[in-house]
Amino acid sequence: MPRANKFATRPVKQAVISASAMSLLYPETEISGYSREQFLLDLVQEAVADIRSCFDNGAHQVQIDFTEARLAIKLDPSKQLLQQFIDINNQVLSHFTEAERKRIGFHTCPGGDHDSTHSADVEYGELIPLFLTLNSDNFYMEMAGEENPESALKIIGDNLRPNQRIYVGVIDVTDAQVESEEIVCERVLQAAKYIPLEQLGTTDDCGFSPFSDDVATSRDTAFAKILARVKGTKLAFDKLNQTHITR
């Protein structure tokens, strides 16, 4: 964070790994003298400390990467594993005030490392209702890479709570083609049909190099895509604002 803030001219959002993902590190066979229950208690405390460290070092918002959410349904269609993950992450959130939780959000996608996915074959609608039960105000949701985004957006709209803001993915990070600002605008306008404007934002579907070793997307392409997101979002805002004025 201190290094990022040296170059930033806007508020910085810092990403951290979810406690639920880290919970998978405990082996199936119990460790002698260190139960899984104690491990989870320690894990939650460390996850809280990780987020607080981001705030203490100048992060405006913290994004918890919860990419294993959709994968959990693939591994366990009963969704018990997904519910366990959500419960762990909600335990982390319980250590923060309402004001602090307004600065914390969750990201979900079917994977995006090396232009590949791990759970895109899982119907998004199977995840969304439970995903939105996280006690968070901000949700960063992959959407540009979806085969049927409109269906997913409708489910979001049906399950959205008044305090929640959805940052819809309008940039497909697994596609080398740079989106035009018009395409981004169309994606925003589509989302606005189902999500109230005061609860809508935009984001990229995932990181361009989630684990730092992904060179599938060049730096120039990544920045071109980010610029398209900014310009396309502005274009959509202007159109939506004009529509509102003329009503």
- Contact between residue 112 and residue 174 where contact means Cβ atoms under 8 Å apart: yes
CA-CA distances (angstroms) from residue 98 to 24, 93, 136, 137, 229? 28, 9, 9, 9, 30
Q: What is the pLDDT of residue 211?
A: 57
According to the model, what pLDDT value does residue 170 have?
98
Q: Would you say 189 and 142 are in contact if contact means Cβ atoms under 8 Å apart?
A: no
Q: Which domains can be identified in the chain, with CATH numbers?
A: 2-246 (3.20.20.210)
Q: What is the pLDDT along the chain (247 residues), one digit of tens a residue?
A: 888 888 889 999 999 999 999 999 999 999 999 999 999 999 999 999 999 999 999 999 999 999 999 999 999 999 999 999 999 999 999 999 999 999 999 999 987 665 556 677 889 999 999 999 999 999 999 999 999 999 999 999 999 999 999 999 999 998 889 999 999 999 999 999 999 999 999 999 998 876 566 677 788 999 999 999 999 999 999 999 887 655 5
pLDDT the model gives residue 84: 97
Q: Give the pTM.
A: 0.92
CA 169 to chain CA mean position, Å: 9
Residue of 171, 188, 173 whose CA lies nearest to 235 = 188
